Structure 1
């Protein structure tokens, strides 16, 4: 793609999110979301491949439907309350429609069907943008309207998302689909805690972004599109292979690592609000996700590829890649648990 067009599209993508984050008027928030959607369409479609075209069409139709629903819900609210202020959301039908629209934009179950398919049809870098940057604007709107949203609806959708995110990733061999189901499961945890403790939801979102960025950076660095590709990570960099194992355990939420922090705080908050059964099911669903992370880490760091040990280097030569962002996010994704008292 032309560098000028690339910079224009990426700046539009950033601008759309910033407009939504800083808006107080429903129309302004809708404009930001639309700009965001329209900016990423050429990024997904730039591969000139049937899968890329299919992913672009699915993404566009889903996001357009969600945006229309959001605009409709804000219009209903303005009709009943006489104001377009985002925080003045009082109409019950508008609240339900807004929850559905933002859930569709994020990929929360049961409106998650587009996310694995879209990610599978895009490149790893585009999949990284969809699973990280594209979640910011809808999450900001959920955060602003959390006082008006129905807790039972969000708890149900959060529970469904964690279960589907766990079950769906079990039999996948494509790393992008695995990351899509991982994203659905993490969003489920955020939706569950949103109405109970919004600050923990923000913390969870930040740590999810950190861990997802570092995982995708590993996949981009090793050009791994399937689990089979990950078996040759050791021949590229033994250090990276070992660190990937720790990173995947952090994504799964094992105790000594950063990923355990949001799960721990969410389970503690749920039990203190007399929801022990929900907390138990959530904790059990985390085991499903942990299983496919374990499978990934097993093939990455605990097995050797089917080649002789004399073959030291992978046959492809890699250009020099900057590893600053990768090393920073990887360290933060694994070693932040001791800072937990700062967030309590």
Structure 2
């Protein structure tokens, strides 16, 4: 891809997200989501193979359906309330349609089927953008209009996403599909608490994005896409295996890593508001995620791959790719647990 085209697409992604973040009018928020969708599709088809084209087509059809439902909800609300302001979603049917549209855009179950299929067919870096940056704009709308949405439907989708996100990743052998199911489960954690404490949703999203970026960048650095290929990674680069170990355990929510903080605070908020069954269900589904994270860790860090090398340690070749982002996101996703009281006071 031409560098000029890449710069234009990157700027479009940034502008589309910022337009949605800073808008208080439904039309500009919808326009930002559409700019985001149209900017990421050429990045998906950059490898120019049938799998990437199929993934881009699936993504386009899914997002177009969600955008159509979203616009229909906006028009219904404007018809009944004469308001185009983002916070004036008072029509009952418009609230239901908007809940469904945002659920499709975020990949919540039962509308999650497009996420693993699309992520599997595109390159690692594009998959990283899809599972991190593309979640920011819909989550910002969800954050702003959470009191106006249908909470019963949203909580049901959140619990279902946590269950199916953990269950679906158990038998996967492709790392991109595993991270896609991880994204579905984490979306469930973010949505389940948005009506109680929206600040916890933003905290969970931030920690998830940092850990996911670190994981994707590390896999791209080692050019690894399957669990089986991780078996010989320790023999090439020990730091890469350590980074994978830390980021995946953080995604799984094990202390003393940063990923434990949002899960702990979300469960605390649910219990404080009397949602004991929901809190217990979410805690149990976290074990499913932790199981397939441990499968990856076992393959990469806890086993010794049969090797015929003369040297016991064969360090990985010097890559020309920048690694500053990997080190920064790894530190953020693994060492911020002591700052939990600060985040509690800010929320």
**TM-score, normalising length: structure 2:** 0.96
Aligned to 2:193: 193
2:67 matched residue in structure 1: 67
Give the Cα–Cα distance (whole angstroms) in 1 for the partners of residues 223 and 38 of structure 2: 27
Displacement of 1:228: 1.2
Residue equivalent to 1:153: 153
Can you list the C-alpha shifts for 1:56-92, whole angstroms capped at 9, x where unaligned?
1000000011011101000000011101000111011
Q: How does 1:79-118 map to 2 (within 5 A)?
A: 79-118=79-118
**Pairing 1:24–2:4 present:** no
Distance 1:255 1:315, change over 3 A: closer
What CA distance in whole angstroms lies between the structure 2 residues aligned with 1:316 and 1:244?
15
Deviations 1:291-335 (A, max 9, x none): 000010011111122213535566984533321111011011111
* Counterpart for residue 295 of structure 1: 295
Counterpart CA distance in 1 for 2:336 and 2:7 is 33
1:250·1:257 contact (CA, 8 Å) conserved in 2?
yes
Give the alignment's Cα RMSD to 1 decimal.
1.3
Distance 1:243 1:41 in 2: 30
8 Å contact from structure 2 (residues 107, 184) kept in 1: yes
Contact map agreement 2:16 2:35 (CA 8 A) in 1? yes
* Bigger Cα displacement from structure 2, 141-150 vs 177-186: 141-150
The 8 Å contact of residues 200 and 266 in structure 2, kept in 1 or not, is answered as: yes
Gaps of 5+ in 2: none
Tell me which residue corresponds to 1:271. Answer: 271
1:164 alignment counterpart: 164
Q: Does 1:183 align with 2:183?
A: yes
> C-alpha displacement at 1:243, in angstroms?
3.0
Pair 1:49 & 2:44 matched: no
Gaps of 5+ in 1: none
CA distance 1:314–1:61, shift in 2 (3 Å): farther
Report the Cα offset of residue 246 of structure 1: 2.1
TM-score (norm 1): 0.97
Does the CA contact (< 8 Å) of 1:250 and 1:258 recur in 2? yes
1:286-325 equivalence runs, <5 A? 286-308=286-308, 310-312=310-312, 317-325=317-325
Contact 1:149 1:195 (C-alpha < 8 Å) held by counterparts: no
Q: Distance in 2 between matches of 1:308 and 1:277?
A: 53
SS class of match (1:306): coil
Q: CA deviation at 1:155?
A: 1.2
Provide the rounded CA distance (Å) in 2 between the counterparts of 1:47 and 1:79: 44
For 2:216 and 2:146, the matched residues in 1 are separated by 30
The size of the alignment, in residue pairs, is: 344
Query: Which aligned segments of 4 or more residues in structure 1 are displaced greater than 6 angstroms?
Result: 313-316
Q: Secondary structure at the match of 2:333?
A: helix
- 8 Å Cα contact 1:232/1:314 also seen in 2: no
Q: 1:338 aligns to what SS in structure 2?
A: helix
**Conserved 8 A contact 2:218-2:243:** no
